[in-house]
Structure 1
Amino acid sequence: MTPAEQRLDDLIKVNERVELRGEGQQISAGFLAAVLMREEGRRPRKLSLYDFVVAGELDLEAAEIGFPVEFERCTFDHEPNVEQATAAGLYFADCTLPGLRASQVRLLDGLALHGCEVNGRVKLNGAHVSGQLDLEDCVINGAFKGDGLRVDLDVHCLGRFRVTGLTHLIGARIGGQFVCEGATFRNPGEERALDLSGLVVAEHVFWRNGFSVEGEVNLSGADIAGKLFCHDARFSSPGGTAIRAVGMNVRQEMEIGDKCTVDGELNMVGCRVGGWLKLTGGRFSNPGGNAINLVRATIALNLVLRTGTLVHGQLRLAGAEVCGTLGAQGGEFRNGNGTAIEATGLKVHGDLSLAVRDDVRFHARGQVVLNDAQIDGNLDCKGGLFENEDGDALVARGISVGRDATLSAPFIARGRVDLAGASIGGKLDLTGARLKNEGDAVRCDRVRVGHLVTFEKAHATGCVRMCDAQISSEVTFAGAVLKGTPSLKLKGTRVRGQLRLRFAERPAGRIDLRRVRAGSFADDEKDWPDRSKLDEFVYEALLDGSMALPKRLDWLRDRHAYTPQVYLQLAAVYAKAGRHDEAADVLIAKEDAKRRTLVGFPGRLHRMVWWLLNPTVGYGYRPLRILWWLGFLVVAGGFLFRWLARDPGNFAKMRGDLRIEWFDPWLYTIDLLLPVVSLDHSQLWVPLGAAKWFSLAFTVLGWVLAICLVTGLGRLFKRDDR
């Protein structure tokens, strides 16, 4: 034995706790192994060796060491072998090792590589550590393999802990916490750096304070009973997967947030989080690919990506379920002209908020897809900025919203907003929204809204389209500015309450209200551009302050193609309101418009004949108008024939006993104007000269008025909706 070995042997004989400082002396690995595995003679309760050089291979394979062993500032020229050994505890502090073979070792207390430098592999496959695994400040220049490792208490990878090589802890079980603060995992030249698939942690996982992984972290199938916290951490796998956590189960809260950077995909497909999932403050980057993948994930409480969150790449939430709220207020999501957020089939039991927060607006640069999503609460996009100028900015076809859908000011969409087939239990609010797209600015075909739809003070540079929709309350465009061509399409929509136009200015393109049904209607003169379409537009009433009837009729005459139903509908509304004179005016205007549509010689002839019906009996809708004509002609004829009667040569007496003083010019005129009924006065006087021609004219006028009266009265009993 060397002096150092002799001294150690002597100390063991007299002390239960043996501490020996070698000051750089060498000790044989074989001698040390014999001491540690000694079955006869005195054995220490603890052995601590300081500043020794252990020469040779320390082979303790399958050995039973009944006491803890501690090495501090020792240097090993061969990797220690403790595979399948059983020991009370094994501790290395500030040591230098070429590696460590400890597969299937059983340690009744802890295992430490505190402050050590390991220039080779550390193998802990199948090892069982009943205490803690302490790797604080340990530097491992090689692989770290611990498949099936079991640690009953905590695992600490703290300080300047670093692994340069693959860390393999597949199926490892940690009975306490897994704490990595300031730790670094690297595997240069390889895709994966940290493989924790199937990891089971009974308490919490903390990756923070400078924690860094260069390469992929694999947490697929991991089960964490507590929380998973990542603060001030960096995960780097550019163009690949930075964190693969497919099917992971975190039973409490999970956070990859403040000062965290994930360069590569965060893949959490099918994972389950029993509390909140907080990504607020994180930077997630995988341009052109999936930055965050939460397809079919289940979040028991809230998912938050609020102010300070930056996602460069696609956020995928297709088929995910969030049992609380999903808040992305103030978050920023970028994916060029691709899809920034893909959330088809997403289920949110609370609210979904893509809104402004603390004066920082939600910003999506790329398409946001919410097709067939189910939102039990509110869809809040108030103040959000959605940009995808080459296509759709917000696509939510078939979305179901239990309460309100709010896209109000300062909401901005540069690209189409598509809500076709949406079902909204409350209101659809686009008050003050700014909508910009070359074609349809907003598309709401077949939407079902339980309350109102408002576009008040909205500004749209494309068409506002809401065809075949079902609105339970009202639709209003008060103060809106529509610049699209066409500007508004509501074809086939049903509005149980009010339909209000009253734009801030005349729309740039036509309005299509064909087959629209509304409880009541309000408009203004400036609401109607040329070539608008009102076929089969049905409404029950006109609201106070609507466009005056004369101007409405002028617009229909000059700027709308003749459509009988439009006039009949308007007349029915006035008649229902007890305004029969206005109803008659509408029907008269209808007849005028109808005559103008007739072309060719038959049309001109038809218009000439019917030209008499309007001023005389109003096409039969104002038959009493003929009394004014009769009264006028009676007065005019009376004065005329009275003047003519001054000259005896204008009238000849039919009987000799008649005197010219008996001639009554007014009675004579009435007798001429009544072609069917005779008062016999005109039979007593024979007109001569000029009186003959005037009498003939009044007789013809009488027949004309009679024919007009009969024709007009006949039309009252004839349905004409052509």
Structure 2
Amino acid sequence: MEITELTAAERRVRDAFPRGTAVDFRTGVAAEDDPEAGDSWGPERTVRAEVLRALLVGSPQEEGQVPALRVLGARITGALNIRYVTAECAVALSGCRFEQAPNLYGARLRQLALSGSVLPGLTAATVHIDGVLRLTDCRISGPVRLGGSKIAQALFFDRTRIGVNADGTTAPNGEAVLQLNHAVVEDDLWWPGLVVHGETRLGGAAVTGQIQLDDAHLRNPGATALHAENLGVGSDLHGMRIQVQGRVDLRGARIPGQLNLAYARLSNPGGVALRASSSTIGELWLREAAPIDGRVNLRRAKADLIHAAPSVWPEQVRLDGLTYATLLPHLPAERRLPLLEREEEGYVPYAYEQLTEAYRRIGDDDAARTVLLAKQRRHRATLPAYARLWGHLQDVTVGYGFRPVRAAAWLFSLLLAGSLVYALHHPSPLKADEAPPFSPFVYTLDLLLPIVDFGQERAFNPQGWYQWLSYLLIATGWLLATTIAAGITRSVSRQ
């Protein structure tokens, strides 16, 4: 095609390019300027893609001017194919209707803006953008391929709809509709209000700034909605009020700031709704989030702080190896413990130890003891019958050493009962001339304490069922003392 074979609309674009002047084909009537109706636009606002390519490749310039391709409200026919092209100018094709998906594979551009445009897709893998890539308010029915791209500044997808046809339907496609795997963004990913029907792929991507996904809707029911394994973020990932249908996969992600999912709705019935195993997160916020519909996998994850009410967690979780320093809001241990019983793998001692340490850090020793008692009870269910029996005895008597007041209550009750019985019926002395005066209280205490000897037990000999009572007190005293010793030993070892 000769550059002279141009329509009036194309000549306007050609003449404006060397000076970087914007060419605006819009009429000012919103209904007429909507790119969804762009197929009806006539030749007065139609530009062939090959004309745009010729300008970018030829880069005509005027002395003292900075060229730029700036077109608003045009219908672009044909395929804009600038694979491997290096264009030393900014490209802004806003509010345009693209007949075919642009192909920017391997291209290098100073800046690219397609805001407000309607496209059947975008192929821009390994593209290099020296400035901002802006796709705000776009409607893209097909896949957006930006894998391996490098963007020197921010990437904007705010309020864009991807994977949705003009009539609101979605075309089934096994390919991820938004691909930024292994992309490098040296500023922010700015995506509030983004709507994606299909998989969003961020695996291995590196974002120097933050990722903003507030109010986004990611929908891929029964499959992965957000694949972000080994994602690296410089600060925060905000997803307040985000709604996800499908799995959120953050395995191995590194988010030093907040992973903020406050007021979020995560749903993947019958599957994993949130997977963040082996991830490193500064703060995980699920404040006021809806109950998660689907399993949660946080195995081997590390977080400085987790803000989540017990009602957020689903019936099945995987918490083995989860390490955290602080839990918010601060709640009694009894409200946190049911979560540990939902562990898919059954009894996981590490989960109880972590919860114990969290309470100890804030000085709530009573809650910490409650968690350790629950741990022993849960462990008891995994033991053989004889060990479970011994465990029940430790639990009833002194709560495995974590309820020492119980021991005092048992001792006092037995001491009181024995003193009353032997006060009503004094046992006969073994040697009447050598026996000390009988004291029901001291005699009972001598029976109960196996190590201490007050001389009463050796001096008197009860008969009949009183003798059996003395045997019971001696045996109970030994068992109680052994249980108390075990509890003290466990308490000392914890310290």
TM-score, length basis structure 1 = 0.59
- Between 1:686-695 and 1:265-274, the stretch displaced more is 265-274
Q: Residue by residue, what CA displacement relative to the aligned partner does 1:189-231 show, whole Å, maximum 9, x if unpaired?
A: xxxxx445xxxxxxxx89553679xxxxxxxxxxxxx98238x
- Alpha-carbon distance in structure 1 between the residues aligned to 2:105 and 2:237: 28
- Alpha-carbon distance in structure 2 between the residues aligned to 1:320 and 1:256: 24
Q: Residue by residue, what CA displacement relative to the aligned partner does 1:543-591 show, whole Å, maximum 9, x if unpaired?
A: 3x15542122133235552112111222222223332222222222222
CA 1:210–1:625 in structure 2 vs 1: closer, same or farther (change >3 Å)? Answer: closer
Secondary structure, aligned partner of 1:294: coil
- Between 1:412-421 and 1:572-581, the stretch displaced more is 572-581
Secondary structure, aligned partner of 1:436: strand
The counterpart of 1:457, out of the listed 226, 241, 249, is 241
Number of the residue aligned with 2:352: 567
Contact 1:637-1:666 within 8 A present in 2 as well: yes
- Between 1:399-408 and 1:297-306, the stretch displaced more is 297-306
Secondary structure, aligned partner of 2:72: coil
What letter matches 1:517 in structure 2?
K
Number of the residue aligned with 2:295: 510
What letter matches 1:317 in structure 2?
L
Number of the residue aligned with 2:70: 278
What letter matches 1:433 in structure 2?
A
Is there any run of 5+ residues in structure 2 with no aligned partner, and where?
26-43, 60-65, 164-170
Structure 1 residue 406 displacement after superposition: 1.8
Contact 2:147-2:183 within 8 A present in 1 as well: yes
Number of the residue aligned with 2:32: none
For these two proteins, the number of residue pairs brought into alignment is: 458
Contact 1:468-1:494 within 8 A present in 2 as well: yes
Contact 2:317-2:342 within 8 A present in 1 as well: no
Q: Residue by residue, what CA displacement relative to the aligned partner does 1:220-264 show, whole Å, maximum 9, x if unpaired?
A: xxxxxx98238xxxxxxxxxxxxxxxxxxx755487863432467
Q: Residue by residue, what CA displacement relative to the aligned partner does 1:384-431 show, whole Å, maximum 9, x if unpaired?
A: 10116423221111111122112212x211111111111111111111
Number of the residue aligned with 1:295: 83
Contact 2:319-2:343 within 8 A present in 1 as well: no
Number of the residue aligned with 2:397: 616
Q: Residue by residue, what CA displacement relative to the aligned partner does 1:153-209 show, whole Å, maximum 9, x if unpaired?
A: xxxxxxxxxxxxxxxxxxxxxxxxxxxxxxxxxxxxxxxxx445xxxxxxxx89553
Number of the residue aligned with 1:668: 443
Alignment of 1:219-230 (within 5 A): 228-229=14-15
1:475 paired with 2:259, answer yes
Number of the residue aligned with 2:106: 319
What letter matches 1:572 in structure 2?
E
From the CA coordinates, give the structure whose radius of gyration is larger. Answer: 1
Number of the residue aligned with 2:210: 427
Number of the residue aligned with 1:578: 363
Alignment of 1:173-572 (within 5 A): 194-195=1-2, 207-209=6-8, 228-229=14-15, 252-253=19-20, 258=25, 259-262=44-47, 268=53, 271=57, 273=59, 275-286=67-78, 291-307=79-95, 309-323=96-110, 325-334=111-120, 340-356=121-137, 362-387=138-163, 389-390=172-173, 391-409=175-193, 411-438=194-221, 439-484=223-268, 485-495=271-281, 497-502=282-287, 504-543=289-328, 545-546=329-330, 548-557=332-341, 560=344, 561-572=346-357
Structure 1 residue 651 displacement after superposition: 2.4
Structure 1 residue 716 displacement after superposition: 4.6
Contact 1:344-1:372 within 8 A present in 2 as well: yes
Secondary structure, aligned partner of 2:412: helix
CA 1:429–1:211 in structure 2 vs 1: closer, same or farther (change >3 Å)? Answer: closer
- Alpha-carbon distance in structure 1 between the residues aligned to 2:393 and 2:178: 59
Secondary structure, aligned partner of 1:677: coil
What letter matches 2:68 in structure 1?
W
Contact 1:263-1:285 within 8 A present in 2 as well: yes
Secondary structure, aligned partner of 1:300: strand
* Structure with higher RCO (Cα < 8 A, 6+ apart): 2
Contact 1:418-1:442 within 8 A present in 2 as well: yes
CA 1:488–1:546 in structure 2 vs 1: closer, same or farther (change >3 Å)? Answer: farther
- Alpha-carbon distance in structure 1 between the residues aligned to 2:81 and 2:292: 43
- Alpha-carbon distance in structure 2 between the residues aligned to 1:268 and 1:228: 11
Contact 1:634-1:670 within 8 A present in 2 as well: yes
Number of the residue aligned with 2:462: 687
Contact 1:426-1:449 within 8 A present in 2 as well: yes
Contact 2:46-2:75 within 8 A present in 1 as well: yes
Larger strand fraction of residues: 1
Identity, in percent, stands at 27
1:654 paired with 2:430, answer yes
Contact 1:251-1:272 within 8 A present in 2 as well: no
Number of the residue aligned with 2:36: none
Aligned Cα root-mean-square deviation (Å)? 2.9
What letter matches 1:383 in structure 2?
R
Contact 2:206-2:232 within 8 A present in 1 as well: yes
Structure 1 residue 529 displacement after superposition: 1.1
Number of the residue aligned with 1:634: 415
Contact 1:525-1:547 within 8 A present in 2 as well: no
Contact 2:10-2:47 within 8 A present in 1 as well: no
Secondary structure, aligned partner of 1:487: strand
CA 1:619–1:568 in structure 2 vs 1: closer, same or farther (change >3 Å)? Answer: same
Q: Residue by residue, what CA displacement relative to the aligned partner does 1:440-468 show, whole Å, maximum 9, x if unpaired?
A: 11111111111111221111110111111
CA 1:480–1:597 in structure 2 vs 1: closer, same or farther (change >3 Å)? Answer: same
Structure 1 residue 718 displacement after superposition: 5.9
Structure 1 residue 653 displacement after superposition: 3.1
Is there any run of 5+ residues in structure 1 with no aligned partner, and where?
1-193, 197-204, 213-225, 231-249, 335-339, 357-361
Contact 1:228-1:253 within 8 A present in 2 as well: no
- Alpha-carbon distance in structure 2 between the residues aligned to 1:538 and 1:505: 23
CA 1:267–1:278 in structure 2 vs 1: closer, same or farther (change >3 Å)? Answer: closer
Secondary structure, aligned partner of 2:204: coil
Contact 1:272-1:297 within 8 A present in 2 as well: no
What letter matches 1:292 in structure 2?
L
Larger helix fraction of residues: 2
Structure 1 residue 277 displacement after superposition: 1.2
Number of the residue aligned with 2:487: 712
Structure 1 residue 684 displacement after superposition: 3.3
Q: Residue by residue, what CA displacement relative to the aligned partner does 1:1-54 show, whole Å, maximum 9, x if unpaired?
A: xxxxxxxxxxxxxxxxxxxxxxxxxxxxxxxxxxxxxxxxxxxxxxxxxxxxxx
- Alpha-carbon distance in structure 2 between the residues aligned to 1:474 and 1:573: 19
What letter matches 1:589 in structure 2?
A
Alignment of 1:79-90 (within 5 A): none
- Alpha-carbon distance in structure 1 between the residues aligned to 2:445 and 2:473: 9
- Alpha-carbon distance in structure 2 between the residues aligned to 1:539 and 1:635: 47
Contact 1:364-1:385 within 8 A present in 2 as well: yes
